[in-house]
């Protein structure tokens, strides 16, 4: 496969790719109950993850991100609303009793679940009682969607009433892929969206959503950089922002990891300037598909990055991808302190004996992290939810894991994650709410979990997630 063909395949697999409101479609309630576990406790690990509740989400498969507010969770779809994809809208889950979560509503067309469109990114902005949903064109190959044009959008739903109601739609000037929601710690009604893009020219778009109630969203900055040694996929995949808004931590796939000074955005200056702090020649960079997510560890000069590598049939395969701890004390020259791998899957010695079908189509790769001062909670695709300690940043240690029993069947298998022999695909940023962990498996639905073990007290918080600065 030549360089251009490989780049096109990687883009397809990795990136996947003012409306009038209508009453959401109300589905029949979904019956859910605890599922047996493949691994609730490994005797060699000091911690445990207990299953509190499970909602299979109509066995639809192709679930995407989760957002949580009050007694509701909202789960998007990686695929579209074309024929053969039932319940492809945004599912609303009652979590008043976390042991018995159940679907009670669905946001459907024209606000979600449209042909060729995926509702991939969801957050809640509690100060304004808004659900934010980023939708864009769904990849026909990687996500089993119809072909067709889609204009990317961020839709804002009022969630104060019985049903979510569309109140505003923002269409970014550059096609986005993921976003980080930053809330001004000094003004609860001011917030910015930091959006990574699929463009190699405009890597980052920042929009002020503070006046979205009046229908106004204003793009306040567009930033990009050019790498001197381009790789096959140098796009900005994801980023996080410090609580004070003065730093952004960027995961650039094959181009590596960077730190930005975003102080002028945090201060609300007119025509703000974004400054690159990391020298390109000293940026952390590694082989493979590179950095997928980057989240700052609170109170420490550390950032946790994850990779995401698909199976051999998509140009990846064993040993897939894993996590790294990066020292950012010197922001001009961050350095990798340690790697964290799940054994045996991320051990190159395992690859000689891995089953060809697993190597081709499975995915034992890290994906999205949520962190506390000493804990990392990482959705690790077929390896489930992994919890490890960052207490010694040079030697991260495993603490617990959760791998669910897969559903017997689903309406749509994910072409890149679950069509192979492994039917688990933990995917979302874990959300911690009132001491419980909410996380979505692409195939098997929404899980409510409880971690017990070292540093468990750090999870006894009102709210925490890896893709926003929300704390309540």
pLDDT in tens, 138-165: 988 888 899 989 999 999 999 998 899 9
CA 37 from chain center: how many Å?
24
What number is the average pLDDT over the span 382-408? 97
Give the tokens for residue 385.
């939810």
Confidence of residue 14 (pLDDT cuts 50, 70, 90): low
Query: Is 60 exceeded by the pLDDT of residue 4?
Result: no
State if pTM tops 0.75: yes
Tokens 């892929």 belong to which residue?
Answer: 177
Residue 136 Cα distances to 49, 139, 198, angstroms: 34, 9, 11
Q: Is the pLDDT of residue 38 over 80?
A: no
Q: Say whether pLDDT at 373 is over 70.
A: yes
93-147 pLDDT, tens digit per residue, is 999 999 999 999 999 999 999 999 999 999 999 999 999 999 999 988 888 899 9
Architecture of the domain defined by 3-465: 7 Propeller (2.130)
Quote the radius of gyration of the chain (alpha carbons, Å): 20
- Residue 53 confidence class, pLDDT cut points 50, 70, 90: very high
Q: Is the pLDDT of residue 233 over 80?
A: yes
| pLDDT grade for 459, boundaries at 50, 70 and 90 | very high
Which pLDDT value is given to residue 41?
Answer: 59
Judged against a pLDDT cut of 80, whether residue 217 lies above it is answered with yes
Q: Rounded to a whole number, what is the distance in angstroms from the first to the last CA of the chain?
A: 48
Sketch the domain layout of the chain as residue ranges.
3-465
Secondary structure of residue 4 in the 3-state scheme? helix
pLDDT in tens, 423-432: 999 999 999 9
Give the C-alpha separation, 261 to 245, whole Å: 9
pLDDT of residue 272: 98
DSSP category for residue 253: B
């Amino acid at each position: 496969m030549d360089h251009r063909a490989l780049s096109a395949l990687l883009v397809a697999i990795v990136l996947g790719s003012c409306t009038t409101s209508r009453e959401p479609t109300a589905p029949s309630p979904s019956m859910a109950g605890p599922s047996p576990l493949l691994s609730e406790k490994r005797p060699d690990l000091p911690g445990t993850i207990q299953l509190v509740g499970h909602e299979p989400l109509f066995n639809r498969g192709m679930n995407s991100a989760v957002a949580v507010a009050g007694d509701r969770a909202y789960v998007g779809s990686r695929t579209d609303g074309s024929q053969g994809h039932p319940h492809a809208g945004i599912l609303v889950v009652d979590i008043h009793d976390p042991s018995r979560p159940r679907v009670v509503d669905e946001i459907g067309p024209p606000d979600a679940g449209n042909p060729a469109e995926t509702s991939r990114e969801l957050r809640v902005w509690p100060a304004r009682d808004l659900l934010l949903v980023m939708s864009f064109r769904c990849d026909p190959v990687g996500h089993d969607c119809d072909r067709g044009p889609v204009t990317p959008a961020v839709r804002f739903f009022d969630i104060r009433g019985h049903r979510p109601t569309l109140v505003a739609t923002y269409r970014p000037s550059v096609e986005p892929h993921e976003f980080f929601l930053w809330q001004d710690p000094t003004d609860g009604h001011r917030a910015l969206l930091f959006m990574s893009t699929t463009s190699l020219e405009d890597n980052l778009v920042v929009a002020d959503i503070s006046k979205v109630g009046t229908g106004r969203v204003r793009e306040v900055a567009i930033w990009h950089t050019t790498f001197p040694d381009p790789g096959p996929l140098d796009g900005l995949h994801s980023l996080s922002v410090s609580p004070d808004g003065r730093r952004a931590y960027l995961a650039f796939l094959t181009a590596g990891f960077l730190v930005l000074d975003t102080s002028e955005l945090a201060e609300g200056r007119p025509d703000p300037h974004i400054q690159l702090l990391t020298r390109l020649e000293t940026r952390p960079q590694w082989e493979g598909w590179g950095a997928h997510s980057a989240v700052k560890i609170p109170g420490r000069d550390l950032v946790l990055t994850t990779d995401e590598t698909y199976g051999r049939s998509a140009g990846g395969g064993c040993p897939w991808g894993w996590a790294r701890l990066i020292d950012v004390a010197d922001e001009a020259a961050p350095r990798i302190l340690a790697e964290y791998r799940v054994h045996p899957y991320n051990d190159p010695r395992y690859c000689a004996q891995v089953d060809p079908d697993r190597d081709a189509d499975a995915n034992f790769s890290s994906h999205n992290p949520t962190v506390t001062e000493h804990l990392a909670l990482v959705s690790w695709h077929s390896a489930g939810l992994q919890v490890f300690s960052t207490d010694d940043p040079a030697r991260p240690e495993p603490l617990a894991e959760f791998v669910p029993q897969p559903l017997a069947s689903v309406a749509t298998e994910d072409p890149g994650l679950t069509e192979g022999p492994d039917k688990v695909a933990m995917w979302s940023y874990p959300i911690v709410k009132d001491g419980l962990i909410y996380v979505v498996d692409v195939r098997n639905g929404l899980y409510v979990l409880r971690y017990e073990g070292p540093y468990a007290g750090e999870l006894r918080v009102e709210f925490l997630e890896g893709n926003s600065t929300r704390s309540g």
